[in-house]
Structure formats: structure tokens, C-alpha cells
């Protein structure tokens, strides 16, 4: 998934929930670090969803 913003991240989470393997890329190092730590900066995706 290229871009893990307000469109890409919810789409990636949905794809993973359906059993697909997803690799995500984003140009924001801060955003990627937050996601790697289990923190979402996108209102449509909760921290709990990232950890699931």
C-alpha cells in the first residue's frame, strides 16, 4: 500500500482483516514510526485496530 493516510490506512486495515498480507509505505517518517508503535493518527482507524 503506497500511502498510509486517511485513504490508505483504513484500506490496509480492511485488507489485513480479510486475510491479505499488506506492506505499507509512507513518506512521513513520523507517521510510520507512530504506526510501528501501534498509534494511529487517522480518526477512522483506532489504536486497537492496529494492534489486532
**Is the per-residue pLDDT at 35 higher than 90?**
yes
- Banded model confidence at residue 31, pLDDT cuts 50, 70, 90: very high
The overall longest dimension of the chain from CA atoms, in Å, is 27
Nearest 10 degrees: CA dihedral of 24, 39, 45, 9? -10
Using the predicted structure, report yes or no on whether residue 52 has a pLDDT greater than 90.
Answer: no
Short-list 31, 26, 51, CA closest to 41: 31
Contact in structure between 26 and 4 (CB atoms under 8 Å): yes
pLDDT score recorded for residue 43: 92
pLDDT at position 51 over 90: no
Amino acid at each position: 500500500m503506497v500511502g498510509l493516510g486517511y485513504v490508505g490506512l483504513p484500506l490496509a486495515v480492511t485488507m489485513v482483516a480479510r486475510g491479505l498480507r499488506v506492506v505499507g509505505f509512507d513518506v512521513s517518517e513520523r507517521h510510520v514510526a507512530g504506526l510501528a508503535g501501534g498509534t494511529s493518527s487517522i480518526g477512522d482507524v483506532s489504536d486497537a485496530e492496529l494492534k489486532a
